Structure formats: structure tokens, C-alpha cells
């Protein structure tokens, strides 16, 4: 039931209301609301029970293995959450006087510095609120850089054909034409096609490394040289940083500007789809264009850097400086990891992925890139099962959620048919991985002997398979009083 | 690393299973020349207790006694149930509901959220949230342009009574698409100048942005403004405080035809100030524009047995399908905060919400009356207001705020920086969290400035 369907006229939670009159006479009548909004009229216990029960209809990291490729669903430490919720941080108004801001600003300043070290970049702005927001910022900085150099003919951004959808969308939102570059059968970028696409119209290239194919782009330095040789710049999509953190830095690979996904690499809770955090890091040539505000340290006091201090900034992109609570969580997480822990993240993330990958092959699954090592994630293709048993990647996904494991990312990248993108993360134990392998072995047997079981899955969840086409056809996105 | 469960024996067994002799071997495709030994500037890892001790010292420095800053981010009482529920691990650590059958909790919450926001704003439809208020306004403007399909003109009337940071964000986010933002001055009442509007009526433009309440805390003449824009062939984008909508006429009921789009910042509905975020943007519109609405949208459908269920819908608008031709690059919504908004609104109901809004207003009126007898500063505008006032001092605001900060009182938002014409002016906010004693203390502190 919806909370609205539990509503009874004139019921309200008396614990949240005083007996005080709720009228005010000094606001002109024509500016006042005449009929109250149709919000639920329920008791506090009804609210508690309704949302507690709804929560139980969710898969989450706290309750399920969640190997969702490209999303880095690692454990979100409760201690970090509690520390970031200290009253001094939680009650602080973002525009508080500097005297009551030094604690938060110190955390932000130190986070800016440590992210610069992690990425091999010069300077960091913590403003962007999510990965795609960071992409927009990075591309806007590239645009500002070319404009400042009088390079107005640079109207094109290149992206690999397997890039995250946000890459072309961000470039397009920033006013650029988008040109896709194909990848080779081994998963690396096709350099001939890249050479042919580069020219005086090239503003830049957006790249993820490891790529969305779950493999390391081996020619990255050559790619950087090629793009730079025609005056273009390189944007690094930090979605896959978990595979290389503490071992290789995008700045050293030749990238000029990048974003980080704090909700992936730095374990901040995904909250059912957000909030995120997408700080942007830039090398010395692009740093002047970073969005404001940022934090600086002057004579022992932390101060805000605004458009007055940074005349070339692309400007503000948020009301306040970033998702402060997400920033604090990332900072505390990094402090807890320390020097050794940061390297250990990528080591075990990659170990877990390779362990799953090799053992899935042993069971009989097909890799999209069999000659390559896995990074923190890898792709299997279920084309063979689809041809043999008419069971597709979606059916396998629905089948595994029936067993309490969240499905990997399906049908992405778009360039690999019937694919699963699998990312176990470093916080999952060998037992959890072995359970996943056991299930996968069973499904393979099931596909051959009882394919219907896969096609009708899920059977064990609050609802059976949902009709997404109907939802888009008979649009109902707001409760109207009846269903 | 504190959160990795592997024993040495397990790592060895896994390597053997892979056919590798060391973890280092797994990174063999990365050129050695690029490999680094470690990250500078990081010490040894901390235990949870060590981290807690360190951060507690830092957080304690930022504790204020009383806060009177608003300026788009508002201090309200948050019932205990709200975050107790929202931080259940099943909400907190889930991801985007890509597998709807395994995400019915989040999806139903988002549907309820959309329904509540549409009800509050009296609009037809809402999306499942955007990042925050300023980016929501930017998206609303880009959406209005897409809905108009008038290639020759991308002019938007953006009044100066809209939050200065929102206007800056709008500029950053829309300038790459050659959107022309035209400022509209406010008059001596602190309201959008009708005289300036008449001067602008000769030009074609796509939309008028109407803030309610406006950044100066003042109520705009929304019926007039909405009709004026429509009569001039333009769309209306409302940017409103959703809490105030329990008391004030909602955008869907403005003028003859109502606003076309309504957006704003949802922080006032159960989200703590939290040093600036995470907050939550909302965006509602008339039904006819739904296919241009950016961001995630939850919708109703049925399962194989005909049972009601919820999915993300109209995904053909979005970046993961449309790529370069998507309505927006946005992927993330602020689901956790949408969950918070939903629980807060369910708990308060229309009645509870209106009481909070009225208490905010009445507490602000109390301060306003007390100020009349004081000589060191005066009320800048005497217009209808919600819960913020502009005070004009006889000396620079920075001195006043510094003096108050020494007593751990946050006195307000310094307007002189962003409105040179409001030199020596500060924007003060009073919400339901302030008692009469708090207000008396503030008034006494102001008198000594």
C-alpha cells in the first residue's frame, strides 16, 4: 500500500504539533494557499512501520552481495557515517562565519590535498555533486581553456564507443559535438581511428582507464600524446579509480582534468541512487578554471577562495561547496585507510575480480575479452546461452536476485552483446565470491535443463517480473487519489 | 586496510586458483614506468576510535550557539523518526533501482516523493529529484528552452531577487548552450520591478523565473507576474521554498493558468544544514512537458501476476540510452534525501507542515516588531515576508557579523557582497527553532554591535 492509502482525514501526529493556532493574519490573502496539499494523514507509528517495511523490500550492501559493475558497491563503514554526523558538522550553516568554520574547512582543505596526491594532479575543487556533474565541470574547463587561448574552432569532444552515457551527454550539454571512437577486438582504443578523428577541431578526449570494458587501456600514454599533439586536452572519468588507486595516477598517464566518484572509490553510501560526490582535479594548466568555492590556508587560517580570488574560474556550479557530508565521509575513510590501506584497496579489488573471472571460465562462462586480465571488474557475455537455450542476460539477472545476490550491471557497455559487467569490490570475502560461483554453476545447469525457471524469475521477491513497457506507455508518476 | 576481510591464506588460495604467483602480477598490463610506490601526504591508517577522537576536536570548533542565517539553507527541527528510518541500511546502502524487483522499497518511496512534491507545488508531475536548488533551476531553464523549440531566441528573464548563487550557477550551467540571461531589478519594496518588466516586454523571451519567497525573504506578487509572463508569450518557472508552500499559494495556482515549471531546494523538509549538503533539488512541471523533464522518474506498473509495482520509467530521455541526445547528463538523483523529504512530509502532514511555516513566520514577525524600537539599524523593506528580513546597519556588515560570531551567534548573510546597492545590509532568518528567549538574546546582542 501507498502511505496515501493509509491516510484518514484529520489524523495527525500530535507529537510533532503544538496546540498553537496555525493562522497568520498579516500576509495578504491573495498570496495564501486556499486548499491544503494532499499529504498523508497518518500517525507516527504508521510512518515508522510503513517505511521500515518498505526498506525491507530493498537489496542493499548491508544485506546483499551487490556486484554491480561500474558502481563499486563496497561496504560503507558505519563508523565513518557516525563521525561525519558529529553535531558540529551537522548543525553548521554553510555560510557560517569563518570563526565557526575552521574545523570543516580544515577537513575540506586536507581532502583537496590528498585527492591531488591520489590523482597526480595540481589542484582540486570539491564542488561537483556527482560524477556527471564533475564531467560537465571538466568539459566546461576545457572549453574555457580553449576560449582563453583563442582556440574557438575546437568544437568536438571524442569519446570511446563504450564510454559511460554521461560522457557524451556531458559534452553535449557543454555545447560540444560528440564523436565516437571504436575499440579494437582486444578492447584497446583503435589508434588509427583516433588519429583520423583528431584535428584542429578537437577540444578533447574523454576516457576511463581502466575502461568500461573492465580492462586497462594499454596505449594510454600514446593516446595522450596524440591528443596533445593536435592541441586537444584529456579528460579522465574517475568511475573506475578503485582498480588503480595508490598504484597509478591519471595525472601521470597524461590526463589534464578528471573527476572522482567519492560514492564509489571512497565508500560513501549510495542512498538508493544518491547523493554522490564528484570532485574535479586539474593539472597546472587547467587549475585556474576550477569551479569555486575552494578552501585555502593563509597564515594559519582557512579561507574561502571565490570568484574574486580565481578570476578565470568557470564559476559556481553549486549553492554551497559540494555535498559536505559526502566530502567528510570520504576524508574520514581515507584517514582510516592510510598510506598502506589505499594501495590494499586496489590490490584486493583486482584480486577478487580476477578470482571470479577465472573461476567463471572454469565453470563454462565466456569472457568478452578472454586474453586480458581483469581490473576491478570484467565482462562475461551470455550470447552462447542465449543462442542455445533462449535465455538472455536479463533472465540470468532476474534469476540471481531470486537467490539474494544483486545482479551485476547488464547490457552495458552497449558494444558487448548479452553482457554482464561484474565488480565484486575488495570488501567482499572469499566465501561470498564462492557462493556467487556456486549459484552461477547452478544457473548454467538450469539453463540447459529448465530454462523456464530463468525466464520466469524472480519468484522469491515482493513482486514478479515488472512490465517496464507498460510503465512508459500508461504514464502514472503521481498518485491521483486512486490507482 | 580496515575493511578487507581476506586472510593471508585466502589470498594465497585465490592467487593459486587464478594461476598467479603474486597480486603484483595482476597489474602486469600497466607499464612499469607509470607505477608509483604510494601516495604522499598520507600517514598510517587510523582505527575508528582514533578517527572519531580527531574529528570530534575539529567538529567542536564549528559549534554555534544560535544561528540566524538562512539564504537558501534553513535550520528546522527534524523529528527523530526521519533519519532513524532513512539511515536504515536497506535505504542508505542501496543503489539506483536498476533491478526494480529488488528495489521496490526505494522505488515506492520515490513515487510517494513525486506525489508529495506535486501536491505541495500543485503541479501535475515531479521527477525523483535533482542535485540541489540551484542546479534544479538551471535544469528548469534548459527544459523551458527545449519545450519552446524557438531556435532564434534563448532569452530568460532572471530577476535579481533570485538567490545570487543560483544565478551564478545558472550562468555556469547554461552559458555553453548560448542562453541569454536578462536581469530584472527589484524595486524599493524588494519585489521584482513591474516598471522594468514593462520595459522588457518589447523583447521576445522564453521564460520568466519567479522566486517565492524571493531571496530577500519578501513575497512576490505571483499572480500578476505569472499572468504577465503568459500574456507576453513566455513560460513561467517558479523557484520556491517547499516548506512555505504549506502556507503560500503554490505555483500551480498562480494567476490564471499556473506556473509551467516549479523547482527549488528541498533541504527545508527534514534535511540538516550539514555544512552545505547533501541537499536535494526538486523539479515539477505541467503534464504536457513530462518528456522534457530531466532526471530519474519512478512510475507505476504491474508484474506478471498483475500486481502493482514500481519501476524507473521514461528512461528513453536519459543519458544511458540517448547518450549525446539526452535531456540532461544527469544520472544521480538524491534518493536518500528524497526518502528524508518523504518521511518528513508523511509525518508532518499538511497541518503539521503549515504549523511549522506559520511558526517561522510569526517568530520572524516578533523580531520585526522588536526591531522597530531600535536605533542602530532599520528594516530595509516593509513588504510581506515569509521568514527572512533585511536589516540595514550604520556600519559595515562584516564588523557586525564578526562581533556576533565572537559570541558564537551567526547573525545572518552579508548582502553587501552580492548586492552593492544593499551596502550595510544583512539577511536574517528566524525559524520555528527559535524561542522567545533566543530572540531576546539575539536582539540584545544586536544592540551591542
Q: What is the CATH number for B72? A: 3.90.1150.10
Q: Which of B48, B109, B173 is the closest to A317 by Cβ? A: B173
Same domain, A102 and A168: yes
In a domain, A101, yes or no: yes
Res. B374 pLDDT band, cuts 50 70 90: confident
Determine what percent of chain B is predicted with pLDDT higher than 70.
100
B17 neighbourhood in chain A, CB within 8 Å: 355, 358-359
Helix residue spans in B372-417 (DSSP H):
397-406
In a domain, A92, yes or no: yes
Q: Which of B301, B321, B343 is the last residue of a domain?
A: B343
Q: What is the mean pLDDT of residues B214-228?
A: 98
Identify whether the C-beta of residue A160 lies closer than 8 Å to the C-beta of residue A190: no
Q: What is the pLDDT of residue B310?
A: 98
Q: Which of A27, A58, A84 is the closest to B105 by Cβ? A: A58
* A246 contacts B91? CB cut-off 8 A: no
Please give, rounded to a whole number of angstroms, the shortest distance from the CA of A114 to a CA of chain B: 6
Give the Cα separation of B216 and B184 in Å (integer).
Answer: 14
Quote the domain boundaries for residue B359: 66-77+349-447
Same domain, B281 and B301: yes
H or E segment at B302?
strand B298-302
Query: CA of B98: which chain A residue's CA is closest?
Result: A409
Note whether A60 contacts B: Cβ–Cβ < 8 A. yes
Note whether B143 contacts A: Cβ–Cβ < 8 A. no
Rounded to two decimals, the ipTM of the complex is 0.97
Q: Which of B343, B359, B376 is the last residue of a domain?
A: B343
Tally the domains of chain A. Answer: 2
Same domain, A245 and A393: no
In a domain, B336, yes or no: yes
Same domain, B314 and B368: no
Task: Give me the CATH number covering residue B319.
Answer: 3.40.640.10
Q: Which of B15, B31, B223 is the closest to A30 by Cβ? A: B223
Whether the predicted model's global pTM rises above the 0.90 cut: yes
Same domain, B181 and B310: yes
Nearest by Cα to B341 from B140, B70, B121: B121
Looking at B115-177, which runs of residues are DSSP E strands? Answer: 125-126, 155-159
In a domain, B39, yes or no: no
Tally the domains of chain B. Answer: 2
Quote the domain boundaries for residue A158: 79-336
Same domain, A235 and A359: no
- What the block records as the C-alpha cell of A190 is 583503435
Task: Give me the CATH number covering residue A331.
Answer: 3.40.640.10
Chain centre distance of CA B391: 25
Same domain, A307 and A413: no
In a domain, B32, yes or no: no
In a domain, B21, yes or no: no
Chain A segment 292-321 residues within 8 A of B by beta carbon are 307, 314-321
Same domain, A101 and A177: yes
Handedness of CA A328, B54, A345, A123 (dihedral sign): positive
Same domain, A238 and A101: yes
Identify whether the C-beta of residue A450 lies closer than 8 Å to the C-beta of residue A45: no
Q: Which of A288, A307, A336 is the last residue of a domain?
A: A336
Chain centre distance of CA A172: 19
Chain B segment 225-254 residues within 8 A of A by beta carbon are 245-250, 253
* A40 contacts B346? CB cut-off 8 A: yes
Q: What is the pLDDT of residue A364?
A: 97
In a domain, B189, yes or no: yes
Same domain, B336 and B362: no
B159-186, pLDDT tens digit by residue? 999 999 999 999 999 999 999 999 999 9
Res. B151 pLDDT band, cuts 50 70 90: low
Prior bond to A275 cis, omega within 30?
yes
Query: CA of A400: which chain B residue's CA is closest?
Result: B102
In a domain, A68, yes or no: no
B129 neighbourhood in chain A, CB within 8 Å: 274
Task: Give me the CATH number covering residue A388.
Answer: 3.90.1150.10
Interface mutation target, options B3, B44, B132, B222, chain A, most CBs of A under 10 Å: B3
In a domain, B436, yes or no: yes
Same domain, A133 and A181: yes
In a domain, A2, yes or no: no
Please give, rounded to a whole number of angstroms, the shortest distance from the CA of A204 to a CA of chain B: 15
Nearest by Cα to A323 from B340, B91, B272: B272
Same domain, A147 and A283: yes
Note whether A79 contacts B: Cβ–Cβ < 8 A. yes
Q: What is the pLDDT of residue A483?
A: 58
Same domain, B300 and B412: no
In a domain, A116, yes or no: yes
Q: What is the pLDDT of residue B54?
A: 97
Same domain, B72 and B102: no
Same domain, B213 and B112: yes
Identify whether the C-beta of residue B105 lies closer than 8 Å to the C-beta of residue B143: no
Give the Cα separation of B265 and B244 in Å (integer).
Answer: 11
Same domain, A124 and A237: yes
DSSP A340-355: HHHHHHHHHHHHHHHH
Chain B segment 313-332 residues within 8 A of A by beta carbon are 313-316, 318-326, 328-332
Give the dihedral of Cα atoms B412, B418, B420, B425; nearest 10 deg.
Answer: -10
Q: Which of A287, A310, A336 is the last residue of a domain?
A: A336
Whose cell is 526505494? That residue is: B106
- What the block records as the C-alpha cell of B221 is 506578487
Same domain, B116 and B196: yes
In a domain, A459, yes or no: yes
B27-67, pLDDT tens digit by residue? 999 999 999 998 988 999 999 999 999 999 999 999 999 99
In a domain, B111, yes or no: yes
Length of chain A counted residue by residue: 483
Q: Which of B52, B88, B297 is the closest to A477 by Cβ? A: B297
Same domain, A221 and A268: yes
Q: Which of B302, B321, B343 is the last residue of a domain?
A: B343
Chain centre distance of CA B444: 32
Is B245 a residue whose pLDDT tops 70?
yes
In a domain, A62, yes or no: no
Phi, psi of A51 (to 5 degrees): -80, -25
Note whether A337 contacts B: Cβ–Cβ < 8 A. yes
In a domain, A180, yes or no: yes
Same domain, B359 and B327: no
Q: Which of A281, A306, A336 is the last residue of a domain?
A: A336
Chain centre distance of CA A10: 42
A19-29, pLDDT tens digit by residue? 776 778 899 99
H or E segment at A410?
strand A409-410
Same domain, B116 and B237: yes
Burial A267-281 (b: 16+ CB within 10 A, else e): bbbbbbbbbbbbbbb
Please give, rounded to a whole number of angstroms, the shortest distance from the CA of B232 to a CA of chain A: 22
pLDDT less than 50: residues of chain A: none
B275 neighbourhood in chain A, CB within 8 Å: 89-90, 92, 94, 104, 320, 324-325, 328
Same domain, B334 and B409: no
Give the Cα separation of A483 and A475 in Å (integer).
Answer: 12
CB atoms within 10 A of CB A363: 14
In a domain, B146, yes or no: yes
Query: CA of A86: which chain B residue's CA is closest?
Result: B59
Helix residue spans in B122-163 (DSSP H):
133-148
Note whether B8 contacts A: Cβ–Cβ < 8 A. no
Same domain, B364 and B418: yes
Amino acid at each position: 500500500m501507498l502511505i496515501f492509502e493509509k491516510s484518514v482525514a484529520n489524523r495527525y501526529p500530535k507529537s510533532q504539533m503544538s496546540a498553537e493556532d496555525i493562522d497568520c493574519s498579516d500576509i495578504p490573502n491573495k498570496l495564501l494557499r486556499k486548499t491544503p496539499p494532499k499529504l498523508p494523514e497518518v500517525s507516527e507509528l504508521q510512518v515508522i512501520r510503513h517505511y521500515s517495511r518498505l526498506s525491507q523490500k530493498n537489496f542493499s550492501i548491508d544485506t546483499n552481495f551487490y556486484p554491480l559493475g561500474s558502481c563499486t558497491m563496497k561496504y560503507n563503514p558505519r563508523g565513518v557515517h557516525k563521525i561525519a554526523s558529529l553535531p558540529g558538522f551537522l548543525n553548521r550553516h554553510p555560510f557560517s562565519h569563518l570563526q565557526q568554520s575552521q574545523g570543516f574547512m580544515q577537513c575540506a582543505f586536507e581532502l583537496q590535498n590528498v585527492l591531488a596526491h591520489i590523482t597526480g594532479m595540481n589542484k582540486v575543487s570539491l564542488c561537483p555533486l556527482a560524477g556527471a556533474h564533475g564531467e560537465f565541470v571538466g568539459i566546461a574547463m576545457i572549453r574555457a581553456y580553449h576560449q582563453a587561448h583563442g582556440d574557438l574552432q575546437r568544437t568536438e569532444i571524442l569519446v570511446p564507443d563504450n564510454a559511460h552515457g554521461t560522457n557524451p551527454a556531458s559534452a553535449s550539454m557543454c555545447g560540444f559535438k560528440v564523436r565516437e571512437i571504436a575499440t579494437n577486438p582486444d578492447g584497446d582504443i583503435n589508434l588509427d581511428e583516433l588519429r583520423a578523428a583528431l584535428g584542429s577541431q578537437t577540444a578533447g578526449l574523454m576516457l576511463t582507464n581502466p575502461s568500461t570494458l573492465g580492462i586497462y587501456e594499454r596505449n594510454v600514454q600514446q593516446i595522450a600524446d596524440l591528443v596533445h599533439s593536435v592541441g586537444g586536452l584529456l579528460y579522465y572519468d574517475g568511475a573506475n579509480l578503485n582498480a588503480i588507486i595508490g598504484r597509478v595516477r591519471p595525472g601521470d598517464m597524461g590526463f589534464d582534468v578528471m573527476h572522482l566518484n567519492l560514492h564509489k572509490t571512497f565508500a560513501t553510501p549510495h542512498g538508493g541512487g544518491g547523493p554522490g560526490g564528484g570532485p574535479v582535479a586539474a593539472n597546472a594548466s587547467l587549475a585556474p578554471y576550477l569551479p569555486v568555492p575552494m578552501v585555502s590556508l593563509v597564515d594559519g587560517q582557512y579561507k574561502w577562495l571565490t570568484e574574486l580570488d580565481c578570476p578565470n574560474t568557470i564559476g559556481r556550479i553549486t549553492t554551497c561547496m559540494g555535498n559536505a557530508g559526502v566530502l567528510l565521509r570520504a576524508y574520514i575513510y581515507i584517514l582510516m585507510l592510510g598510506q598502506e590501506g589505499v594501495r590494499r584497496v586496489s590490490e584486493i579489488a583486482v584480486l577478487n575480480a580476477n578470482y571470479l573471472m577465472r573461476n567463471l571460465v572454469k565453470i563454462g562462462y565466456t569472457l568478452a575479452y578472454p586474453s586480458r586480465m581483469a581490473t576491478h571488474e570484467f565482462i562475461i557475455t551470455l550470447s552462447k546461452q542465449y543462442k542455445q537455450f533462449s535465455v538472455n542476460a536479463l533472465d540470468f539477472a532476474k534469476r540471481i536476485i531470486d537467490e539474494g545476490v544483486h545482479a551485476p550491471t547488464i547490457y552495458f557497455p552497449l558494444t558487448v552483446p548479452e553482457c554482464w559487467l561484474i565488480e565484486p569490490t575488495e570488501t567482499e570475502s572469499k566465501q561470498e565470491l564462492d557462493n556467487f560461483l556456486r549459484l552461477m554453476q547452478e544457473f548454467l545447469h538450469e539453463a540447459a535443463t529448465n530454462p523456464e525457471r530463468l525466464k520466469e524469475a524472480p519468484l522469491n521477491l515482493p513482486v514478479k517480473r515488472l512490465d517496464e513497457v507498460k510503465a512508459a506507455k500508461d504514464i502514472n508518476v503521481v498518485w491521483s487519489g486512486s490507482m | 586496510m580496515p575493511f578487507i576481510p581476506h586472510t593471508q591464506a585466502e589470498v594465497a588460495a585465490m592467487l593459486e586458483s587464478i594461476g598467479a604467483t603474486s597480486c603484483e602480477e595482476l597489474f602486469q598490463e600497466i607499464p612499469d614506468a607509470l607505477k608509483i610506490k604510494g601516495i604522499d601526504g598520507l600517514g598510517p591508517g587510523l582505527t575508528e576510535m582514533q578517527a572519531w577522537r580527531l574529528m570530534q576536536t575539529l567538529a567542536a570548533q564549528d559549534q554555534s550557539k544560535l544561528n540566524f542565517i538562512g539564504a537558501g539553507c534553513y535550520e528546522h527541527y527534524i523529528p527523530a523518526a526521519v533519519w532513524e528510518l532513512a539511515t536504515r541500511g536497506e535505504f542508505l546502502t542501496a543503489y539506483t533501482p536498476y533491478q526494480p524487483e529488488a528495489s521496490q522499497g526505494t522505488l515506492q518511496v520515490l513515487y510517494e516523493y513525486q506525489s508529495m512534491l506535486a501536491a505541495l507545488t500543485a503541479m501535475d508531475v515531479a521527477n525523483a529529484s535533482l542535485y540541489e536548488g540551484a542546479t534544479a533551476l538551471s535544469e528548469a531553464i534548459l527544459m523551458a528552452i527545449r519545450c519552446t523549440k524557438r531556435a532564434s531566441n534563448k532569452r530568460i528573464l532572471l530577476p535579481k531577487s533570485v538567490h545570487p548563487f543560483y544565478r551564478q550557477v545558472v550562468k555556469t550551467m547554461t552559458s555553453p548552450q548560448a542562453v541569454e540571461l536578462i536581469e530584472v531589478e527589484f524595486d524599493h519594496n524588494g519585489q521584482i520591478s513591474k516598471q522594468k518588466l514593462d520595459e522588457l516586454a518589447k523583447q521576445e523571451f522564453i521564460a520568466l523565473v519567479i522566486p517565492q519567497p524571493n531571496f530577500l525573504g519578501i513575497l512576490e506578487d505571483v499572480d500578476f507576474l505569472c499572468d504577465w509572463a503568459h500574456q507576453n508569450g513566455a513560460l513561467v518557472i517558479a523557484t520556491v521554498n517547499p516548506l512555505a508552500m504549506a502556507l503560500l499559494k503554490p505555483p500551480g495556482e498562480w494567476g490564471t493558468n499556473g506556473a509551467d515549471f516549479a523547482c527549488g531546494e528541498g533541504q527545508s523538509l527534514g534535511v540538516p544544514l550539514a555544512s552545505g549538503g547533501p541537499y536535494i533539488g526538486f523539479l515539477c512541471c505541467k503534464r504536457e512537458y513530462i518528456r522534457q523533464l530531466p532526471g530519474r522518474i519512478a512510475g507505476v506498473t504491474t508484474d506478471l501476476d498483475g500486481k502493482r509495482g514500481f519501476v524507473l520509467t521514461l528512461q528513453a530521455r536519459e543519458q544511458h540510452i540517448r547518450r549525446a541526445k539526452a535531456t540532461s547528463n544527469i544520472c544521480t538523483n538524491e534518493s536518500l534525501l528524497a526518502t528524508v523529504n518523504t518521511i518528513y512530509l508523511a509525518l508532518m502532514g499538511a497541518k503539521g507542515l503549515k504549523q511549522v511555516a506559520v511558526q517561522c513566520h510569526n517568530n520572524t514577525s516578533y523580531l520585526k516588531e522588536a526591531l522597530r524600537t531600535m536605533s542602530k539599524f532599520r528594516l530595509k523593506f516593509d513588504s510581506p515576508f515569509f521568514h527572512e528580513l533585511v536589516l540595514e546597519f550604520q556600519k559595515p556588515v562584516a564588523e557586525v557579523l564578526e562581533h556576533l560570531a565572537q559570541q558564537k551567534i551567526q547573525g545572518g548573510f552579508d548582502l553587501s557582497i552580492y548586492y552593492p546597492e544593499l551596502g550595510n545590509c544583512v539577511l536574517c532568518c528566524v525559524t520555528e527553532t527559535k524561542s522567545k528567549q533566543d530572540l531576546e538574546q539575539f536582539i540584545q546582542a544586536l544592540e551591542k554591535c
